[in-house]
Structure formats: structure tokens, C-alpha cells
Amino acid sequence: MRLGPSRLIILSNRGPYTTAVVRRRVVARRSAGGLVAALEPVLRSQGGTWIAWDDRPPGRRRPPALTDERGPFSLRLLPFSEAAASNYYHGFSNRVLWPICHGFLDKCRFDHVFFRDYMRCNLEFSRAAVREASRRDIVWVHDYHLALVPGQVRTLAPHLRTLLFWHIPFPPAWVFKAMPWAREILEGMLGADLIGFHTQDYVRHFLESCRVLLGLPVNEARGEVQFGRRHPRIIACPIGADVEAFDTLARRPGVLLKAHQLRKSLGVDQIVLGVDRLDYTKGILERFLAYEIFLKKHSQNRSRQVLVQVAVPSRTRVHDYALLRRQIDETAGRLNALYAEGSWVPIRYSYRSISRESLAALYAAADVALITPLRDGMNLVAKEYVASHTRNDGVLIVSELAGAAEEMEEALIVNPYDLEKVADTLRRAMDMTLKEKTERMQALRSRVLSRDINWWVREFLRAAGFSLARSDVHRGAARPAGVPFEPAAWIQPVGRLGVREAN
């Protein structure tokens, strides 16, 4: 079966475009994420709607939600009041579901007002989906911000086919159970016909939660839950990176030149790289401490390497994130003050979002990628690093607590809490022979390249009973993100625009 006449109704917290002021006009630009790059072409070929939260800060002359009625698909941005949005997003999404799913119970704040507004905002999404979808359409819900949507859509329009993909980990039942609304969340998710996670472990945890918390019969072998008269299917479908984009960029002369200049300006033998959203789950602080152990152990050749860490601002309004930012700043400062020699400093740390071109140049320039999250659903940076090493050089060190580790056995796998071991593994990566590096990277590349973001879209829809021709998904790294996107269709009056953060 092909997708046929079905249109796609995509729901995600953040929309696929950001807005910017160009010559006093608001112009939409495509967001940098791989998800948008993969889904946009499918939406274009099938038609449909992307529904997201209108997270632009309120302003006196705020334009109505951007919509492109003339294009092959439209965009609906849902405005919420500031208080509701804050409880839904900063509150329940980021201070309840995010920490509990990553196993950080101490970071959770179980506030009933958060859940009340989460339910309300989810209901706005659900109503918008039901308004947009015709009987034949597919509603595809993304991530933990919208866990109640599948159940709400099923109540409002039982005939609609709903799919859910959960981008973060799903914790063991005894952890999930600590959340006072665990049962409501599970029931909401079970409104979907198909639920996807990155790994088989998360599938097992979810099934276990359905059995333990809801008392439902589950069939682990078939990945099925019996929920009333329905049998929602639960599968593992690991997301891939936007490989074509990074592979293409990393071969571009301009990007290679940038990588070369970077290496020259840093003036070291080896560059170790960390790239993350600034989040406590990413283990940046622990990485710095492991690097300090490395510096102490190998004091004779210290200035031969540098750790380049780029952190993109994220959730800056949440107190824990502001605190973490300060701790990371202070630790980088302390290490640089303590271990600097002449003009050499051990850590080059920057706190900003960078373009994909610069990211590809950094990946290409780095001898070692040190990807050590304390817990991560997948981690696309690890896959992007591999996609950018077109000459099969470079060493990947990856945390065993990231979903990515399951598919990357040729990487050097570490426990990010074991700082001594991380430091020793870094030494091992630096001393690795070219032959071993090449063999490992070749194996990693063949897997990362074949299971890219387009594979993931096809695979997930196939599991839902639809098939997509390869030509229906994105081909080529065609349009770099950030280039104005069909400006004529998108120009709106100027509103007050804020600085965007990641996720």
C-alpha cells in the first residue's frame, strides 16, 4: 500500500520554520533540524498540514499565525496564553516529562497546574488536528510534549489513524510510576495505532508500564498492548541523521577550507569535540571533569590537544538550566585558568547556536568526538559526526546511556559517570592507529549512511501500513536550512521577534 490519497497531519511542539526580519518584513526560514528536512518533502508530495505551537513572544503587532494556503501544505501555529504556554512547555514538558523520562527524578516538579495546562494545550492541538484531517488522512504526533493528543484525537474522531513517535527515552516502570499522572499519560499515548521509540529497551519499558500501571495485557513478542478493543502496536525505529546534508557539506571545498583554518588557528595535534544543547542530560560538566583527569594524567603533552565544546542555548527560563550554564562556565574558566600554557588553553567553549556549515566544518576538523550524555533518547550529533567523516578518519567515543550506542558498536563506548574511564578512553582514541580508525569508521559509516533520516520516515510509515517511494522523501541536501523559504508566500507584517533557542 502506498500513502495513496492520504495527507499527513504532523503535530509537533515546535514548527518547521523560524521567522526573521528581512528588510522590515517577517520571512519564514526552515528550521535546521533533520526532522523538518525529512518530513517536508513527504508533506509536499502528499499534501497536509503541520500543526505547532506559536511560540513567538506576544507583541502588540503580532501577525496572525503564518499559513501558506497556496502551497502544497499548510502550517497552523497555535497561540496559547503566556501562562498556559509556560505551564504546558516550561512546566509539564520540561520539568516533569523530560526529567522523569531521562531518569532525573530529583529534577521533577510535580505541579497540578502544569498538568492542567498541559491537558488544555494538548486539547488545542487535538482539535486543530481533527479540524484539518479528513477520514483518509494520517495524524502523526511527535514527542513528549503531546502525549495526550493520540487519546484526545481518538475521542474526538475515532475513525482517524494516529501515529506517535517518542523522541526521548522511556524509563522503567518503577521510575515512570513516580509521576502522579503516569496513568493518564500512558492512556493518552495508547490512543495511537502505532507508537515508535528509538530502541527495544524503551519499547520494553513502555510495555512494562502498561502492564504494571494500567493492568493491561501486553504481548512483548508482537509489541502489542490490548487496550479495550484495540491493539496499539509498539515498535523500535531508531531515528537517523540528515546524512546527505552532512556528507555533502563535509565534501564542499568551502567547508574543508573552514576545517583546515580551524585546525591551523587552534595549533594543536588533536581536536576533541563536544556538541550539545545545553542540558543536564548531555553530561557536559562531567565531560569537562573527565577531561581534567586526562590533563592531570598526561601533563607532559597537555598542549598538544584541545577540547572544543559548543553548547546551544536551551530552556534558559528554567532555573536548573540557568544554574547548569553557570556551573559549566565556571568549570571551563577554572580549567583554563589552571592548566593554560602560554597562548594555549585546554578548553575552547562557546555557548551559541551555529550554522550547519560551521557544524560540518567542526565535525570534519575533529579527531575525536566525545559524546557522553548521561541519558539520551538517540543523539544525532554522534551520527552527524560519522556522516561528516567522508575519509573514514576520526574516532567516535559515545556514551552507553545514549540510544545511539545500540547501533554504534564500532565506536568506543563509555559510561559517562566513570570519569577515569572516559579519560583513559580519550587517550586510547588519540593513540589509535590509522588502520583501526579507518576500520571502525567504515563500519560506522555504512550503518549510519544506510539508516538515515529518510530511511526512518519510510520505515516508520511502512510499519504503520503505508509505503513511500524513495522519490517521495528528500533527495540531496538541496536547500540549506536558514535560506529564506518561498518568501513571497510567507511575508507577513512585522511582529516582535525573539531569539530562538533549541528545543
Q: Torsions phi, psi of 20, nearest 5?
A: -145, 160
Q: Which is nearer to ligand ADQ, 270 or 353 (CB)?
A: 353
Q: For residue 18, what are the β-bridge partners? A: 29
Select from 26, 168, 175, 190 the one that contacts ligand ADQ (CB under 6 A).
168
Select from 310, 419, 430, 464 the one that contacts ligand ADQ (CB under 6 A).
310
Catalytic residue among 142, 167, 205, 389: 167
Binding segment (CB under 6 A) for ligand ADQ, from list 15-23, 334-342, 371-379, 416-424: 371-379
Query: DSSP strand E in 260-314: where?
Result: 270-277, 305-312
Q: Cell for 181?
A: 499522572
367 binds ligand ADQ (CB under 6 A): no
Tell me how far, at minimum, the Cβ of 112 lies from ligand ADQ, in Å. Answer: 26
94 binds ligand ADQ (CB under 6 A): no
Binding segment (CB under 6 A) for ligand ADQ, from list 103-111, 128-136, 336-344, 379-387: 379-387
263 binds ligand ADQ (CB under 6 A): no
Catalytic residue among 143, 193, 276, 376: 376
413: burial class by Cβ within 10 Å (0-12, 13-18, 19+)?
middle
Cα 69 from Cα 66, distance rounded (Å) = 10
Select from 175, 312, 361, 419 the one that contacts ligand ADQ (CB under 6 A).
312
Select from 49, 309, 379, 454 the one that contacts ligand ADQ (CB under 6 A).
379
Which of 143, 114, 166, 179 shows the shortest CA–CA distance to 52? Answer: 143
Let me know if 167 is a catalytic residue.
yes
Count of CA atoms in the C-beta half-sphere (13 A) of 155 = 11
Binding segment (CB under 6 A) for ligand ADQ, from list 58-66, 271-279, 331-339, 409-417: 271-279
Q: Cell for 93?
A: 514538558
Q: Which is nearer to ligand ADQ, 6 or 18 (CB)?
A: 18
Tell me how far, at minimum, the Cβ of 483 lies from ligand ADQ, in Å. Answer: 16
Contact map string, positions 23 to 62, toward ligand ADQ, x by CB under 6 A: ---------x-x----------------------------
399 binds ligand ADQ (CB under 6 A): no
In this structure, is the dihedral angle defined by the CA atoms of residues 472, 478, 484 and 486, taken in order, positive or negative?
A: negative
Binding segment (CB under 6 A) for ligand ADQ, from list 5-13, 67-75, 380-388, 413-421: 380-388
Residue whose grid cell is 572516559: 422
**Count of residues in contact with ligand ADQ, rule CB under 6 A:** 22
Q: Which is nearer to ligand ADQ, 133 or 387 (CB)?
A: 387
Instruction: Name the 3-class secondary structure at 252.
Output: coil
Whether the Cβ atoms of residue 357 and residue 480 lie closer than 8 Å to each other: yes
Binding segment (CB under 6 A) for ligand ADQ, from list 67-75, 110-118, 275-283, 485-493: 275-283
Angstrom distances, CA of residue 149 to CA of 13, 143, 171, 312: 12, 10, 20, 29
Contact map string, positions 219 to 248, toward ligand ADQ, x by CB under 6 A: --------------------x---------
> Over 9-56, what HEC string results?
EEECCCCCEEEEEECCEEEEEECCCHHHHHHHHHHHHHCEEEEEECCC
Whether the Cβ atoms of residue 242 and residue 452 lie closer than 8 Å to each other: yes
Tell me how far, at minimum, the Cβ of 323 lies from ligand ADQ, in Å. Answer: 19
365 binds ligand ADQ (CB under 6 A): no
377 binds ligand ADQ (CB under 6 A): yes
Tell me how far, at minimum, the Cβ of 71 lies from ligand ADQ, in Å. Answer: 25
284 binds ligand ADQ (CB under 6 A): no
Binding segment (CB under 6 A) for ligand ADQ, from list 130-138, 378-386, 426-434, 444-452: 378-386
Q: For residue 28, what are the β-bridge partners? A: 19
Q: Which is nearer to ligand ADQ, 175 or 239 (CB)?
A: 239
Which of 313, 359, 391 shows the shortest CA–CA distance to 480? Answer: 359
Cα 404 from Cα 377, distance rounded (Å) = 8
Cα 480 from Cα 491, distance rounded (Å) = 20
429 binds ligand ADQ (CB under 6 A): no
369 binds ligand ADQ (CB under 6 A): no
Cα 386 from Cα 448, distance rounded (Å) = 7
408 binds ligand ADQ (CB under 6 A): no
Instruction: Name the 3-class secondary structure at 452.
Output: coil
Whether the Cβ atoms of residue 318 and residue 362 lie closer than 8 Å to each other: no
Which of 262, 268, 422 shows the shortest CA–CA distance to 346? Answer: 268
Catalytic positions: 167, 376
Residue ranges binding ligand ADQ (CB under 6 A): 32, 34, 167-168, 239, 275-277, 310, 312, 353-354, 359, 376-381, 384, 502-503
